[in-house]
Structure 1
Amino acid sequence: MEKKISLLQTLATAGVFSAVSFWYGFMFGRESARKELADLIEDLRRGNDGAKKSS
């Protein structure tokens, strides 16, 4: 019986760790995309062409 509780605790801990890792990864990606979009909007406001920059 003790092994089942230990296994259950291990699975619960792994699940929580996975959820937290996913959340931080999602938020980091979202923030990165927001910064890139803000830079693109700023370039467009200045009249710079983004295609010239990447070529």
Structure 2
Amino acid sequence: MERKKLTLLQTVFTAGVFSAVSFWYGFMFGRESARKELGGLIEDLRRGTAGSEPTPRSS
């Protein structure tokens, strides 16, 4: 019985670590994506093309 509790605890711990790492990578990827998009918008504003048709950006 004690062995099953330890295995369950290990499983829960592993799932928690995996979830935390997944959240961190997702957060960082989203932040970088938003930074690139804002950078593009700022460049458009500097060039004075804010009112024109938006150009597709490669990621």
Compute the TM-score of the two structures, normalised by the length of structure 1: 0.90
Superposed displacement of residue 48, structure 1: 0.3
1:23 is matched with: 24
Aligned twin of 1:43 = 44
- Tell me the distance in 1 between the aligned counterparts of 2:13 and 2:41: 42
Unaligned runs of 5+ in 2: none
Aligned counterpart, 1:3: 4
Identity %: 74
User: Which ranges of structure 1 fall in alignment gaps of 5 or more residues?
Assistant: none
Give per-residue Cα distances to partners, 1:4-45, cap 9 Å, x unaligned. Answer: 000000000000000000000000000000000000000000
Please give the TM-score of this superposition, normalised by the length of structure 2. Answer: 0.85
Number of residue pairs aligned between Structure 1 and Structure 2: 54
Cα distance, 1:2–1:53 mapped onto 2, change above 3 Å: same
More helix by share: 1
